[in-house]
Every structure is written in C-alpha cells, then in structure tokens.
Amino acid sequence: MEKVEGNIMREMNFDAVIIGGGVVGCAIARELSRYDLRACVVEREEDVCSGTSKANSAIVHAGHDAVPGSLKARFNVEGNRMMEELAGELDFDFKRNGSLVLCFDEKEKPGLEELYEKGCQNGVPGLSIISGDQAREMEPNVSDSVVAALYAPSGGIVCPFGLTIALAENACDNGVEFRFLTEVKGIRRAAGGYELETENRRNGERAVMTAKYVVNAAGVYADAFHNMVSAGKIHITARKGEYCLLDKEAGGHVSHTIFQLPGKMGKGVLVTPTVHGNLLTGPTATDVEDKEAVDTTAKGLGEVMSKAVIGVKDVPFRLVITSFAGLRAHEDSDDFVIGEAADAPGFFDAAGIESPGLTSAPAIGRYVAELVAEKSGALPKAGWNGRRTGIVRPNELDKEARAALIRENPAYGTIVCRCEGVSEGEIEDAVNRTLGATSLDGIKRRVRQGMGRCQAGFCTPRTMEILARSRGMEMEEICKNAPGSEMVTGRK
C-alpha cells in the first residue's frame, strides 16, 4: 500500500469489489470465483452472515407469493430449483419439507385461489388447494378453524448460516479475497472504475480501494451506496421481524412450514421446523428508522405468540429458548433492485433483497456474476472447484465411524457444548478452516455451540479457551462478535 493523502493508504486494485458479506454477497462472490477476475468481498462485521442473513425465517419459499413478472418471482423460483443441488455441492443443511398456507374462512378462499394462480404463473411445481380436513391429516396440530390450504411441496427449510458460510468458503478457496471489519465510507467514480474509501473498525485506519466494478450487496445500507453514484435514487426501509425459537423438544409439533394468508405487511407469522430440529415462530413486520434496531420487544414477541396459535394449536411457548430480531431491506418499489445502474457503468446493485431473498440468493448470485463477467469480458477460470466439505459432526456418525474419528483425533471425543453435543474437534475446525471463526458468534454459526437449551451458559469459558489457543489470542481479546463486545475486561 502507498499513502495518498494524510493517513489514507491506497490498496491494490481489484477487478470487482462486493460490498456486503451476507448470503447475497457471498453467492455473488462464489459465482464470480468461476471467472478469471480478482475479486474481493468487503464486510463491516468480523464475519460473513452477520446481518439480515443470520436473523430470518430460514425458509426456502416455493414462489407463489411474488407478483408474476417481478424480480422476486423470477429469482425465488430459480433459487428454489437450485437449492438441492447446491446443498449437495457445498455440504449445508437443506430439507424440502413442503409448506401450507392456511385459510380460515370460506370468504377468504378467493385469496387462496389468487395465490394458487400466481404460483402457477410463476412456475411453482405441484401446487394444489386442499381442504381443511386434508390439511389436518397432513398436520394434526393445524387449527380446527382451517377450511382450506394451499399446499406447495417444493417449499423447504435451510440453515442460513450454513448456506452463507459454505458459499463464502468456496469463493475464498477459489481465490476471492475477504476483508472483514472493513467499512465502506464513500464511493466515487474514478478513471477506469471506482474508488472506495474504507475504514478498519479495529484500528481506525483508512484506505482507498480501486475497482473496475462494484457490486452493491449491502442489505439495509444498499440505498446509501447506490445513491452515492447514481442520480436515480432508491430508498430502503428497515423492516424489523421478531421471532421465538423453541427447544428441540417442540421440533416435531409441525413437519411442514405453516403460513397464514399474507397481509399488506408481509407473509404474517409462520410456524416451522428448522433443519436442526427446533421449532421457529415469527416474524412480525415493523418499519423502523434505525438500521441497527435488532432489539426484541414484549409487544413484538407477544404478537408472534398470539398470531402463531391462530394457525397451529397448542404451540408450546413454555419451551422458548431464545428470541431474536432481524431487519429486512424493503425498497419502495416493493421489488428487488438488481442490475447495472443506468447512469453508473460498472456499478451493479443487488439491493432491496428482502423475503424471499434467502431463497433467491443462489439465482441472484449467478445472474449478477454473469453480468459482471460479460461486462468485463472475463473468461472462465481454469481449475475452478465448485465443491466444499463441511465440518464433520461426530454425533451424526454411526458408532464405528465416530470411534474411528476419535481414535484419529481425540478432540472429537471431548464434548464442550452438552446441549448440542458439540466437540472440541468441531470447534477447532470452525476456527482453523477457510475463513475460520474469529469470535464466539462465528463459532456458534458454524457448529451450533451455544445454540441449545442453555444458550451457552455452560460452554462459553471452554470455547473461549479453544479460540484463544487456536488463534494465539489473549482471553481479553475475545469478542462475542465485533470489537467492542469483549467477553472479559481483565484478570485478577
């Protein structure tokens, strides 16, 4: 690096810089890694999957809700079709469990039929409208007041952490660089592309990155970056959704994802199993001015609980183990904003990515990467490897395989997180592998340490010891997530 003015340093050039390390940014990075380009992901947090991508419904939507002809409809259905093959390639958890949209009144049936027609126009396979009795045969805990339901067998559930991390690891293994704790402060056009002024959130150092192409996948902040370079302004509202997560004891309460007929503020409260065996309910939909407002409220969680039981009987909320909130990036057009900005050549948006953004991410990634490759004339990269192997989970192996693994590495026989059965070996792998975890939240998202019934009440000290040893850190340096969230302040 060279100093350009004051204490601002100039970074080396990139062909493409992706702003944002969420699921969409990482999907674009993975697809760009197919091409002979020098690409970099810039993320303001300490890890990928630290914003909207970590706090959502974890649903792979079938695609019957989006307006036909919209970008949401196109990329939802395409992303749904891609998910199964992608899970096989990248080794993350995905299950096609199917979904039901419940109707509670004969007068509301036209709304259900409208969803059916929209789904058919969007190309959703296997849709059918079933009776309330048929819905209860499929799901015994569905409300007695249900008179009909839309059944979508292509609906699914996924681990959003697993998907995002797998995309990022595979992108990195194929040459994409990642810069964490790096916040983009400004973008300006320059000869041959763009200059991005960045600030390191750990030490405050400023730098200028140059890129021929910029991809804007910055979630709730995507409007700010778009508006820095384009006269065609966009506006994103942060829409908060609150959730309750229930213990695995409640995980079998339903087997499908259960929706209610959507209203003007979204799809309403759902009840769904997760790929890890829990039960999830939510979200609410509240527009907020603060784009960091991920607090939960008594009102919001009360709404989740009261609405969930309208569609599903006897939801055992006594088994709630945690609650959380996420922010959806709602653009005023009520659709995704994807593609090259009309008056900013080389600046590509992936903005306004709210629901069904998680489902759509693989398809958005492929589409945007192809736009950048076509614009740049980049050729496919020789030796690109689209496969990635996830972290070994000893408690999912049979007895013989697990014994063999422990003989090879005894750390896999030492259980650190009792609730989730996570071993020391898994935590070490989470820290030491490609783009390994540097924080407690990073470990949690990779191996579920601390996600169980006690919510890290017992396993945190031992996990901190493993992280400190593996990273060569002092205990005082270990953070829950980004700097400022240190777990301890000193020693006696």
Q: Shortest CA distance to 427 belongs to which of 386, 456, 385?
A: 456
Regions of the chain where pLDDT drops below 70 = 1-12, 263-268
Write down the catalytic residue from 61, 64, 276, 330.
Answer: 61
Parallel, antiparallel or unpaired: strands 206-216 and 8-19: parallel
CB atoms within 10 A of CB 491: 7
| 3-class DSSP assignment, residue 180 | coil
| β-strand partners of 214 | 17, 347
| 3-class DSSP assignment, residue 158 | strand
Could you tell me where in the chain the CATH 3.50.50.60 domains are found?
Answer: 12-94+157-235+332-390
Helices (H), 99-158: 109-122, 132-138
Find all residues with CB under 8 Å of 110, minimum gap 6, and list them.
none
CA-CA distance, 270 to 268, in Å (whole number)? 6
Instruction: Find how far residue 89's CA is from the centre of its chain.
Output: 18
CA-CA distance, 327 to 221, in Å (whole number)? 11
| β-strand partners of 211 | 14, 194
Q: Shortest CA distance to 219 belongs to which of 340, 57, 352?
A: 352
Token pair belonging to 104: 């509670």
The string of pLDDT tens digits covering residues 83-141 is 999 999 999 999 999 999 999 999 999 999 999 999 999 999 999 999 999 999 999 99
Which CATH number does 399-477 carry?
A: 1.10.10.1100
Determine the pLDDT at residue 437.
98
**Is residue 226 among the annotated active site residues?**
no
- Whose tokens are 């000290």? That residue is 461
Q: What angle separates helix 160-173 from helix 23-32, to the nearest 10 degrees?
A: 30
Which run of H or of E encompasses 273? strand 270-273
| β-strand partners of 188 | 195
E-only strand ranges, 26-164: 39-42, 59-60, 94-95, 99-103, 128-131, 148-152, 156-158
| 3-class DSSP assignment, residue 271 | strand
Could you tell me where in the chain the CATH 3.30.9.10 domains are found?
Answer: 99-153+237-327
Q: Shortest CA distance to 464 belongs to which of 453, 68, 491?
A: 491
Query: Could you confirm whether domain 12-94+157-235+332-390 is CATH 3.40.50.300?
Result: no
Cis peptide upstream of residue 273 (ω within 30 degrees of 0): no
Q: State the sign of the Cα–Cα–Cα–Cα dihedral 407, 412, 415, 420.
A: negative
Find all residues with CB under 8 Å of 181, minimum gap 6, and list them.
43, 44, 45, 46, 200, 201, 202, 482, 483
Which CATH number does 99-153+237-327 carry?
A: 3.30.9.10
Is residue 451 a contact partner of residue 444, using CB atoms and an 8 Å limit? yes
| 3-class DSSP assignment, residue 152 | strand
Residue type at 426 in one-letter notation: E
CA-CA distance, 237 to 291, in Å (whole number)? 8
- b/e per residue 157-190 (b: at least 16 CB within 10 A): bbbbbbbbbbbbbbbbbbbbebbbbbebeebeee
- Whose tokens are 């249900």? That residue is 146
Could you tell me where in the chain the CATH 1.10.10.1100 domains are found?
Answer: 399-477
- Whose tokens are 């609405």? That residue is 307
